Structure 1
Amino acid sequence: MTGQGKCQVIGYARVSAADQNLGRQLKALDGCDRVFSDKVSGKSTDREQLQEMLRYVREGDTLRVTSPDRLARSTRDLLAMVEELKGRGVAVEFLDNPALNTDTPQGAFMLTILGAVAELERSVIRERQLEGIALAKAAGKYDKSVKLTAEQIEDARQKVDSGVPKAVLARELGVSRQTLYTALSGTGRYAEAAS
């Protein structure tokens, strides 16, 4: 079966290290039409078999996983993945946590609550960052000076106009692409430097 025909139940299993055993998860996923598995940390969603599984599943399929932390370690990544799958018409089942299954009203409710918690967490982190920056500025410890001189910016503009990619220029100048974009547009600290 190629994933293009009848609806399938697709399994996904993951352990964090190559020497750990997938056996318990694979036994729980017995009966799936196809199972994808990774032996790698879950802190990133950039995992070979996870990405392959996401490309494979089709509308009407069900993704079966033993628990949410097998898909993603961060709530934000988990919610993004579940929302993407739901948007594509793929149901998600968590064998150890059926209250989170996306095909039930209770699961949709629980995922909404998790989404709200994740949003609150992002807001609190951002608020703390801003407070920390304000305190550092007040103490004179947050003086971010510009990284590029006016001459470097003018030279970069000319190179961009002649077709040199901005990513190449950023590497040559030893700055991030965002810093280069900000400098070229004359915004942020570069607006202050230009005045």
Structure 2
Amino acid sequence: MYSDGAIFEFRGPWNVPIQLNQSLILLVLIIVGFSFDPGTLPYALGFVSILLGSILLHELGHAWGCLIQGVPVNRVVLYCGGGFCEHRRSTSSYEDELIVAMGPIVNLTLWAVCSLVEPFVSSPALGWVLVVTAQLNLWLAIFNMLPLMPLDGGRLFHAMLNRMVKPVTATRIAGFVGLIGVAMWLPMMVFAYVNFGFMFLFFPPLLRHWHMLRYAQY
């Protein structure tokens, strides 16, 4: 889906190719579009930079989880809905546990470090950066741990179920839980917009969870 839309590519840590998808332009326009006051435009652009940097570090966490286990990484892609780390071979449930967990662990580490440093910073601008980085990464960690595919929480939930029950049962349980999440998603989106003023750019895939429940190809 995002293989042909790269507008920029560079080499990241461990020589992993990092691609910026053209859909990021839409993300920037959406966030900056909420900033009608020119005085708040620098904050909107700063927020975009912090968001993309946090997503990139999250995906590099996945890449590290791959490489440390000998799983080659093809690329890391950032796009409007988030990002993904593409590896060259299929992985076992045990390998997936570390690969998937490393993304939220990176976000939680950024949240903890920025939260601890911020009280000792005297610069208002740097303080703002640290506060936003801490809050955003805490939210990204919580959001990604929801037990829905293809979020990290859904993949980790499925991998851990494979340790406890047969693969067929694990897939069906994960699919059933995912369908409950899909049913609750629209009310959650309305609640988030009314109370916090933002909307999710992600919607959990109904058919994928339905196929998992039926243990069909997904």
TM-score w.r.t. length of structure 2: 0.23
TM-score w.r.t. length of structure 1: 0.25
Greater C-alpha radius of gyration: 1
